[in-house]
Amino acid sequence: MKEKKLLKKLVIIIAVVFALFFALVAYMVVKQIQEEKILKQEIINYSNKDLATDDFSITVKTSGDCAYVEEAVKKFYKQLSDNVKTINFYLNNDKLTNILSYENLVKDRPNFDLSHSTIKIAKDKINESFDNIKNLSEEKTIKNLIDKDKLEDSKYYYDLYLSLMYTEKDLETLKTVRKEMERLSNNLNEFLNKIDEILYFLENNNSKVVYSNNLIYFETNEELNQYNKLLSELNELGNNLSNKEIVKKDTTGI
């Protein structure tokens, strides 16, 4: 009788253990599904943001392998956005557009050292940012964004990552962003080079220039015509910067 009771208790204990085990497995499966759902939504949310204006501060909302993937992707978008914002900043920087203002020319003449320095700093920042964008949008950068050795289930989560970030549509959109940033950076460099050229022209002809009543006067029509020609070329370059739209990554297909 005692043996039967003991056996019954043992069966109950085993049943409870199995029930707890399956409940734990079910919980882990449900939790994984929920984590992946959150991960996918977070990536969609980030990739739908405007690279030039939106906030890309990083808050990780998942855990485990999902958290590692989420943080890596968000860091990627933040770096991409930071560099796009830098180019966009110089695209709309009043300090640059006012270099040729009457007030600045009078204040900085005859060598325009501060103006030349401002242009150089801007060009360096623009070129550095474009180089970063170019590197970030390379296919090898996207593939190597995740270190599989840091994932517990490396193959599953790496494949999941690739399905979210390495589709043909994703790569094509990043390529578009890179081309747009290249266009803007090249146009900005040409625009700034032309401002530099105008400053050097004024510097070299300083003895022939009179600044008075918000106007610039030249001794001869030859210098005046050269100056107007440079301004016309600058205006044309400025028109090339008129399209200031920053491309966003389209994720409507996810």
C-alpha span between 226 and 233 (Å, rounded): 11
Rounded mean pLDDT of the chain? 84
CB atoms within 10 A of CB 220: 10
Token pair 């289930």 is at which residue?
153
Q: Which pLDDT belongs to residue 20?
A: 55
CB 198 within 8 A of CB 234: yes
C-alpha span between 227 and 210 (Å, rounded): 13
> Residues for the chain: how many in total?
254
| Helix-helix angle 64-91:154-165, to 10 degrees | 30
Report pLDDT digits (tens) over 18-44: 555 555 455 455 556 788 889 989 988
Q: Which pLDDT belongs to residue 253?
A: 32
- Dihedral (C-alpha) 141, 146, 148, 153: value to the nearest 10 degrees? -150
Dihedral pair phi/psi, residue 212, rounded to 5°: -155, 135
C-alpha span between 2 and 203 (Å, rounded): 110
- Residues 119-126: what's their mean pLDDT? 95
Q: Which pLDDT belongs to residue 183?
A: 87
Report pLDDT digits (tens) over 185-220: 899 999 999 999 999 999 999 999 999 999 999 999
C-alpha span between 191 and 197 (Å, rounded): 10
Q: Which pLDDT belongs to residue 99?
A: 95
Full-model pTM: 0.80
pLDDT band at 171 (very low <50, low <70, confident <90, very high): confident
Element (H, E) at 211: strand 209-212
For the record, the structure tokens of 244 come out as 């200031």
3-class SS at 72? helix
Q: Which residue has the higher pLDDT, 2 or 169?
A: 169
Cα four-point dihedral sign 115, 119, 120, 122: positive
CB 45 within 8 A of CB 62: no
pLDDT band at 5 (very low <50, low <70, confident <90, very high): low
Q: Is 44 exposed, middle or buried (0-12, 13-18, 19+ CB in 10 A)?
A: middle
pLDDT band at 247 (very low <50, low <70, confident <90, very high): very low
